Chains A and B, each alone.
Chain A
Amino acid sequence: MGSHTVTRADLCEAVYQKVGLSRTESAELVEQVLAEISASLEGGESVKLSSFGSFVVRSKGERIGRNPKTGEEVPISPRRVMVFKPSNVLKQRINDALVEGAS
């Protein structure tokens, strides 16, 4: 498995290399893309990126949890969570790249 961690800086570099904007503007555009996706999710709207996957917002009602150490029951407050559902294309590409002997 890889050991490197890819960050914003790597995404900016990729945009800089492939699109031909300045480094400053590449960084600015990467921020705008992430901000736009975040804003859509914050507004409760899911984001579907074909052949990559979709980000979906789910609302969870109150439920009873348990402190695993003490066994004590504690209410878990209602909340909204975001889930990433990878597309079949993404799953296939990752699996093919990493499973040994996969064709």
Chain B
Amino acid sequence: MIKSELVQTIAERNPHLYQRDVENIVNAILDEVTEALMRGDRVELRGFGAFSVKNRPARVGRNPRTGQKVEVGEKFVPFFKTGKEMRERLNDGTDHGEDD
């Protein structure tokens, strides 16, 4: 499923809304999550999962071809952890625990 299909499904279920409204709703949600992560905040959606940002400190890497040392700067990467209810839904109601 891609974003336009998600928008269409939700629009069909809510005939009183214009498709453009639904598009704005989906974008508002995604923008809010993006802006939170840009501040380094966590986004917790019970039953679905939680987004957070992980810090990767600067390190000295190596070019695997030449063996030459390369400075790799500090990085921040988005991270998602699946919620318990979602984990169970993927496995017919069985909770196998957090391991993935």
Contact = CB atoms under 8 A, between A and B. Distances in A.
Nearest to A76: B99
Given A38-B48, A94-B38, A82 B29 contact: no
Interface in A1-49: 1-8, 10-11, 14-15, 18-19, 21, 26, 29-30, 32-34, 36-38, 40-42, 45-49
Interface string A31-70: 0111011101110011111101100010010000100000
SS of B interface (majority): mixed
A80 B34 contact: no
Nearest to B46: A8
Interface size classification for chain A: 35 or more
A41 B33 CA distance: 19
10 contacts: A6-B32, A7-B44, A11-B28, A30-B29, A33-B25, A34-B48, A83-B80, A84-B78, A86-B77, A91-B77
